[in-house]
């Protein structure tokens, strides 16, 4: 079974939204897929997603209030088939963290969206609530293409 871990820095904005988007798309397509999120940083371990992230997900009919931030572990590299970073810095950090026994395929989220390859997902943390709508649009576009990829297997 395929499994995906979405990774951003603080783990309360982009990666929980990516998890929510892929879970919703997998459910819609009836895919058996494990999806989680984590951060490379440890500032928000155990905390729920940012209120603005919860609000944008809720506007799309998804409740992420029960999600809790956690930090990436070395075990994640063998537990997941895919570890997907939301930006270049986190992808670099993941490459450094990966143990020799890693089996997870590492990628950048928007590499899975035709025409967006090499781009980072917008980080809405320091902006207004509208920035979370941009992030939601990016993660849902990627969720659609990722789910189609998993479905084709």
Residue 116: how many other CB atoms lie within 10 Å: 17
Alpha-carbon gap, residue 106 to 24, rounded angstroms = 22
Q: Of 8, 13, 54, 87, which is the active-site residue?
A: 8
Alpha-carbon gap, residue 78 to 88, rounded angstroms = 21
Q: Decide: 18 and 109 in contact? Cβ < 8 Å.
A: yes
**Cα R_g (the chain), whole angstroms:** 14
Q: Is 13 a catalytic residue?
A: no
Q: Is 8 a catalytic residue?
A: yes
Q: Decide: 22 and 143 in contact? Cβ < 8 Å.
A: yes
Alpha-carbon gap, residue 125 to 105, rounded angstroms = 27
Residue 32: how many other CB atoms lie within 10 Å: 8
Q: Of 70, 116, 123, 133, which is the active-site residue?
A: 123
Q: Of 13, 14, 54, 87, which is the active-site residue?
A: 14
Catalytic residues: 8, 14, 123
């Amino acid at each position: 079974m395929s499994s995906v871990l979405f990774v951003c820095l603080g783990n309360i904005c982009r990666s929980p939204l990516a998890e929510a988007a892929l879970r919703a798309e997998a459910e819609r397509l009836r895919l058996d897929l494990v999806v989680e999120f984590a951060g490379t940083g440890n500032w928000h371990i155990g905390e729920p997603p940012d209120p603005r992230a919860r609000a944008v997900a809720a506007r799309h009919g998804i409740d992420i209030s029960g999600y809790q931030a956690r930090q990436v572990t070395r075990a994640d590299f063998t537990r997941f088939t895919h570890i997907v970073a939301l930006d270049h810095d986190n992808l670099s950090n993941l490459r450094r963290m990966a143990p020799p026994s890693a089996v997870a395929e590492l990628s950048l989220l928007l590499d899975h969206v035709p025409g967006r390859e090499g781009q980072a997902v917008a980080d809405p943390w320091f902006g207004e609530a509208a920035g979370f709508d941009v992030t939601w649009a990016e993660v849902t576009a990627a969720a659609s293409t990722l789910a189609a990829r998993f479905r084709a297997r």
